[in-house]
A and B are shown apart, each in its own frame.
Chain A
Amino acid sequence: MSREEIVKDLSDRHEGVHYCYTTCVNNGCWDASCILKCGIKDDKVVTIEADDSVNANDAREDIGDDAIKKGMIQLRACPMGHAWRQELYAEDRVLYPMKRVGAKGAGNGHFERISWDEAISTIISKMKGIQDKYGQASIFYCQYGAFERSDFPLAPWMDTGVACWGDHSTSGSAPGEKFHLGVDLVDVMFKGTSQSFPGFEAPDLLNSDLIILWGLDMLVGWFGTVPYYCKLAQEKGAKVIVVDPRYTVSAEVLADQWIPIRPGTDVAAELAIAYVLYTEDLYDHDFVNTYVEPEGFEKWRKYVVGEEDGEAKTPEWAEPLCGIPADTLRELARLYGNAKAVHLQCHYSVGKRNRGEYGTTAAMLLQAMTGNIARPGGCESGCSLTTVPHLTTPMLDWGRAAADFATPVVMNNNKLTETLYCRQKFDKGEMSEDEFRHRIGNPPGSILPNIRMMIMDNNYVNNQHDVNKRMEGFASTDFNWGWQWHMGQPSSEFLDIMLPAPIHQFETLDTYFFGQERYFLGPSGMRNYFVFCNKGVNPPGEVRAKEWVWTQIAKGLGIGEKYNPKLIDVDDYKDWDQAVLDRIYKPAYEEWAKDSDGYLASIGIKPRPWDEFLKCPVERVPIDEPFYPFKNLIELGYSPFMTPSNKVEFSSSFLENMDLTETRWRGHMDSYPKWNVSYDDNPVYDGYYHPDTKEYPLSLVTPVTPYRQHSANDQNYWLRGDCYRHAVWISPADAQARGIVDGDQCLIESKTGVVKAPAYVTEKIIPGTAAIHHGTWFKPGKDSDPRDPYGVDENGNCNMLLDDIHLPHAVGALLTAGLVQVSKIEGR
C-alpha cells in the first residue's frame, strides 16, 4: 500500500460520520460531567473523542493564566469515557425482556425471554398486589432512596415507596457537617432552605499555598477539573502533601510529599495537629472570634491538651498509633498553621469506616480553627459540595401533577441490607421492634419498612458492604424487577423480571441516575458550563426507553395522566425519544433562550437557535471569581453556620443536649471528635488495634478506581485486562510472611466473606494494610464456604469482605473498610 492508500484505509471508517455530544457520568464519577464527542455512522457509535467545545485541537491547552483561572477549558474524559463501545456492543448485552424461572440467587433458576406486554402486565399486577398486601413502605426503588427522598418515580401518586435519610457518598462527613457546622446538603440541594454551599470550584485551588489531600486520591476519587487544577497549582508553587496508607497516583503526580498513616487513626493525627495549633497559638483568632462558638472551642481545647482526661494529645502521643513520627506531625501542624490558604480535604475514605466521622469532623474543625473553612483557597473538608452555578440551564416541564402523597422516611439509606435482614427476624418474632428500629436508623414516629419488591436499574446488590447478607435479603422479597445492561451482572440474579436497559447516555433521552435531566451541569468542580446530552443512536434489540416503560406502568396503575401527561398519547416506543425531544427538551431550551430577564445576556451568552445549538450543545461562561466554601454568605457578612449558636460548634450543642439513640441516628456520638469514645471501650473494629487482628491481621481499604463507575464497566475489555489487573495490594513484608509473590492467586477472607484475587506486591502500601479496588462483580465459582452461600467469589469483590455494623455508634456511614487475612492458594 502507498502512503495515500494507508491514509485512505485509516480514514474509511470515519468518512461520513456525524457527531453527537453527551456526558457518560454515572454515579461513581462524582463531579466529572465530562463532555464526549461521539462520531456516529449507520446508527452506530464509531468513535468517542474528547471535548472540543472550546480550545479545539489544543493538546496542552496552554491557554494563558487568565483563561485557565476563568475555567475556559475542556471537560476531558477518563479512560472509561473512551471505552463505551465495548459496553454498547458487548456480546452479553441484555436485548429482550426476560423472566426468571426458579428461585432468586446465583445458581438458582434461569432466564427465559418474554414479550414486552407480558413483562409490563406482570410488573403492574405485582406492584398492585404488593402495595395492597404490604402497604406504604413495601416497594424500594434502588436509584435511589437518599437525602430524605425515595426517587421512585411513581411514588407521589401511588402512595408507596421507601424514602431514606442519608446517602452513600457523603455519609462519612454528613454528621460532622450537620452537628458542628450546621450544614446539611438536604437543605442546600433539595429543600432550598439553606444557602450554605460548602463546595469549591477547581480554579480556587490556584488560591491555595498548601494543599493537603488526606485519605483522598484526588486524581481518581475526584476525577475531572479538580485534580487538573491541583496539578496546575502545584506547578505554580503550591505545596501539596498526601496523607494516606497508600502511595497513590495523587501522591506521585499531584504532591511532592507523602506521609503514610495507619488506616483508622486519622483522628489521632488530627488531634496532635490541633494540640500544636492550640499550644503554639497558631490559629486564626479573627475567624475564631467571629465564627466559632467559644465554649465548645474551649471544651475541645481542654480535651486536646489533656485537661479533660489527663492525656495530652501531643504528636508524641499520636506517633505510635498513626505510625507517623512526632516531628513530622509537629512540623506539619506548624506548616499548616502558618500557611495563608490551605485546601485540606479529608472525607470519604476517612469518614466511611467505623467511627470515621470523628476523623472528618476533626478536619472540619481544624479548617475552622485556621479560618481555612471559608476563604479563597480553603476547603470545607466535609462533603465539599456544592457551589453556586455561573449560568442557568433550560428547565424541563413535564407537566406532572402535584404529589398526592409524601413518601415517609423510614430508614437510613446505608441500612437496606440490615432492613431486609431485620424484617425477617422481626416477622418471625426473633427481634424486637425496638431493636429493628435502632438497627436501621428508623426515624422516631415513622412507620417500619416492609420491603417486598425491589426495583433495580443498577447493580445495587453488588456494590455495598456485606454482599452475602445483602444477597440473602434481596432473595427474600416477593418480586423484584428492573433493568440491567449485561447478562451475568450479579444483580440480575435477584430479579424476577429483567428488562433490557438502554445505555442511556447514548441510546435514549432518559434521565441519568438520581433523575438528573439531560441539560447537564456538573454538581461541583466547575459550574460554568452545561452540555445537552442528546441521543446519538437507537438502542439494539428490543431495548426501549425507560421513561416509556415507566409511563406504560403508570397508565396500567391508573396514574398515567398524573405522571406523564404530555407524552401519554405516545404509545409506540419508536416515536418516544423524538417526542421527548420535541415536547420536553426543545420547548425548555426555547424558553431559556428567550432570556426574558436578560440574565444570559448579562453573562455573555447569546443563545443560538435550537438546530444550531444541537451541533455543539455546550454553553460555557468565564468564571470571574471561583467559588470557595460559603463564599456567597461570607461575602455578605452572614454566618453560613446554621447551628443553634449560628457559629461553628466545636462541641455540638445538639449532641450535648440530645439522646442521639432516640433520634434517627439511633446510636451514640460524643459531642466533639475523640480518640477514645465514651460509649464503646473497643478499638475501631476495622483498625490495627482490634483483637480480631489475631485472626484477620490486615486492615483493608477499598478505594475507587479509574476503570469502574462503582461497578459499571467491570467487564469492559478495553479496560479490564488492557489497562489493569484487579488484584489485592499487599506490602513486601506481608507478602513474604505469607509466601506470596506478585501474581500468586490468593484467598482473601473476613468474618463476612471470602474472595479470590491475584496479589499485587508493592512498596506503595504500608505493612498491615491491604487494598482491593471497589466495584468488581461478584462471580461465584465452584468453591463453597459457609460465609459465601452463593459460592466463593472468583472476582475479588471487596464488598463481600466488609461488615455493616454501626451500633453502638450512630447509624449512617457507608462502611468501606474492614479486617482481612490474605493467604496464597497453593497449586496455582
Chain B
Amino acid sequence: MAQYGFFFDQSRCYGCQACSVACKDWNDLEPGPKKWMSVYDWETGTLPDVRINILAFNCGHCDDPACAKACPSGAIFKEDKYGAVLVDEDKCTGARKCLDACPYGSPKFANDNPSAKMSKCTMCIDRLEKGEKPVCVLSCPMRAFDFGPIDELRQKYGDCAQLAEMPDPKLTHPNVVYKAHRDRQQFVPLDGKKVLELQKDRNVGQYKDAGLDPVYTDLKAETDPPAGEIKRNKLVMVNKTAEAVMAATSNDLG
C-alpha cells in the first residue's frame, strides 16, 4: 500500500477558501458546516506586531485514525490503495464518537440533528482513480498545496506535521507536511511602542490647536483587550455544533 498525503504551505495561504469552495462544488455539498476542507483563520499578537495565521485542513488520513477506532458501528475504514480514510454512510448511525476522537475536527455533519450522518474528506478518491489529484490542491491560486505519496512529499518538503496551535501529530500520525509562515522582518526600523503612541492624538502638527478629540484615551484598551472582546484569536479545530464550525471556519474578508 502506498500512503498518500497533503502538503500545505502556510506562507502562501491567504485564506481565500477557493480550495474549500472547489471541494463543495466537486462533491456537491450544500452551504453550511459540511466543510470537508476547512480553512481556519486567526490572529495573534497586538498592533503593530500582529499576525494572521491560516490553516487549510481537510483530513490527515492518519496512520492511526482515531475516528475509525472510536466508531461503534465500524463505519470508518482506511482503504489500501491510497491510505484514504473513508466513511460508509450506510453504516454510520450519527453517534458522533468520531468527532469526539478526532483531534482535527475532520468528521463533518450537515446540522446538529442527532440523525445527521458523518461525512468527510475522501481524498477525492474518485479523482485519484482517474489519475487526477484532489480538487482542492489544484484550485489554490497561490499554489500552496501539493499532493502525492507521503514519502515523496516528506523528501521534498521535510517532515513538519504540526503548525503552531495544532494538535500533537503523535496522537494519530496524520499524513501531512507543513511549511510554516515566515518570521516578520524589519527592513526598516519600526518602533511598535511609538506607533501605538502616535495613534493617540489628533491635535498634532498644524492641527495642534484644533480642539479635536483624541483617537483613544487608554492605551491598555489596545494592547491588552479584555478576554472575549476579540474572538478569532486562536485555532479551534474541534467544533461540536454547526454554529461553532461556521464561526471557526469563516473569516472577515467579505
Contacts and interface: CB of A to CB of B under 8 A. Distances in A.
17 contacts: A3-B79, A50-B22, A79-B18, A85-B25, A86-B31, A231-B12, A247-B52, A252-B181, A253-B14, A324-B195, A691-B210, A693-B213, A725-B252, A736-B218, A763-B43, A763-B222, A764-B43
Contacts of A60: 7, 143, 145-146
A761 B230 contact: yes
Contacts of B135: 49-50
Nearest to A690: B212
Contacts of A742: 228-232
Interface stretch (A326-334, A578-586, A748-756, A806-814): A326-334
Contacts of B88: 1, 6
A733 B252 contact: no
Interface stretch (B107-115, B160-168, B185-193): B185-193
Given A85-B25, A736-B218, A768-B215, A256 B182 contact: yes
Nearest to A37: B138
Contacts of B21: 79, 82-83, 718-719, 722-723
Given A253-B142, A732-B221, A736-B218, 4 more contacts: A321-B204, A689-B207, A725-B250, A733-B199
A257 B46 contact: no
Interface stretch (A10-18, A111-119, A123-131, A281-289): A10-18
B202 A737 contact: no
A601 interface: no
B137 to A, nearest CB: 4
B20 interface: yes
A190 interface: no
A705 interface: yes
B145 to A, nearest CB: 5
Contact of A767 (B31, B131, B216, B251): B216
A79 B28 CA distance: 15
Given A741-B229, A768-B199, A256 B187 contact: yes
The 3 closest A-B pairs by CB, nearest first: A724-B254, A320-B204, A732-B225
A718 B25 contact: yes
A205 to B, nearest CB: 14
Contacts of B195: 260, 323-325
Contacts of A47: 25-26
Contact of B18 (A59, A76, A319): A76
Interface of A: 1, 3, 6-7, 10-11, 13-14, 46-50, 52, 57, 59-62, 76-79, 81-83, 85-86, 219-220, 223-224, 227-228, 231, 239, 241, 247, 249-250, 252-253, 256-260, 262, 317, 319-321, 323-325, 327-328, 331-332, 335, 676, 683, 688-689, 691, 693-694, 697, 705-708, 717-727, 729, 731-737, 740-743, 760-764, 766-768, 773
B3 interface: no
A83 B25 CA distance: 7
Nearest to B207: A689
Contact of A256 (B45, B48, B184): B184
B17 interface: yes
A819 B32 CA distance: 35
Contact of A683 (B13, B27, B125, B207): B207
Contact of A737 (B18, B216, B219): B216
Q: Which residue, B147, B188, B250, has most C-beta atoms of chain A within 10 A?
A: B188
Contacts of B200: 767
Nearest to A223: B141
B43 A82 contact: no
Contacts of A729: 252
Contacts of A10: 27, 122, 125-126
B228 to A, nearest CB: 6
Q: Which residue, B25, B77, B133, B137, has most C-beta atoms of chain A within 10 A?
A: B25
A737 B221 contact: yes
A689 B210 contact: yes
Nearest to B147: A59
A222 to B, nearest CB: 12
B96 to A, nearest CB: 20
Contacts of B222: 731-733, 763, 767
B249 to A, nearest CB: 8
A258 B46 CA distance: 13
B183 to A, nearest CB: 8
A102 to B, nearest CB: 33
Contacts of A50: 22, 135, 138-139
A220 B252 CA distance: 13
Nearest to B228: A741
Contacts of B170: none
Given A3-B86, A736-B218, A249 B14 contact: yes
Interface in B88-127: 88-91, 122, 125-126
A219 B205 contact: no
Contact of B187 (A335, A727, A731): A335
Contacts of A325: 189-191, 194-195, 198
Contact of B126 (A11, A239, A260): A11
A328 B193 CA distance: 13
A320 B28 contact: no
B253 A773 contact: yes
Given A49-B138, A320-B198, A7 B129 contact: yes
Given A732-B230, A733-B222, A231 B142 contact: yes
A323 B141 contact: no
B155 interface: no
B11 interface: yes
Contacts of B132: 57
B253 A707 contact: yes
A1 B89 contact: yes
B125 A324 contact: no
Given A252-B181, A761-B229, A723 B251 contact: yes
A250 B47 CA distance: 16
Nearest to B9: A60
A449 to B, nearest CB: 35
Nearest to A241: B187
A729 B43 CA distance: 13
A688 B184 contact: no
Given A1-B88, A683-B207, A721-B250, A767 B187 contact: no
B222 to A, nearest CB: 4
A689 B212 contact: yes
A305 to B, nearest CB: 17
Contact of A763 (B11, B25, B50): B50
B187 A723 contact: no
A327 B189 contact: yes
Contacts of A61: 143
A319 to B, nearest CB: 7
B204 A705 contact: no
Given A220-B253, A723-B20, A252 B51 contact: yes
A719 B254 contact: yes
B243 to A, nearest CB: 11
A722 B204 contact: no
Q: Which residue, A223, A259, A725, has most C-beta atoms of chain B within 10 A?
A: A725
Contact of B141 (A48, A228, A319, A740): A228
Q: Which residue, B13, B122, B195, has most C-beta atoms of chain A within 10 A?
A: B195
A617 B228 CA distance: 52
A77 B142 CA distance: 10
Q: Which residue, B122, B132, B202, B221, has most C-beta atoms of chain A within 10 A?
A: B202
B250 A7 contact: no
B175 to A, nearest CB: 15
Nearest to B215: A768
Nearest to A699: B215
A725 B17 CA distance: 13
A181 B49 CA distance: 38
Q: Which residue, A691, A718, A734, A743, has most C-beta atoms of chain B within 10 A?
A: A718
B235 interface: no
Contact of B15 (A228, A249, A736): A249
A277 B133 CA distance: 52
A761 B216 contact: no
A48 B254 contact: no
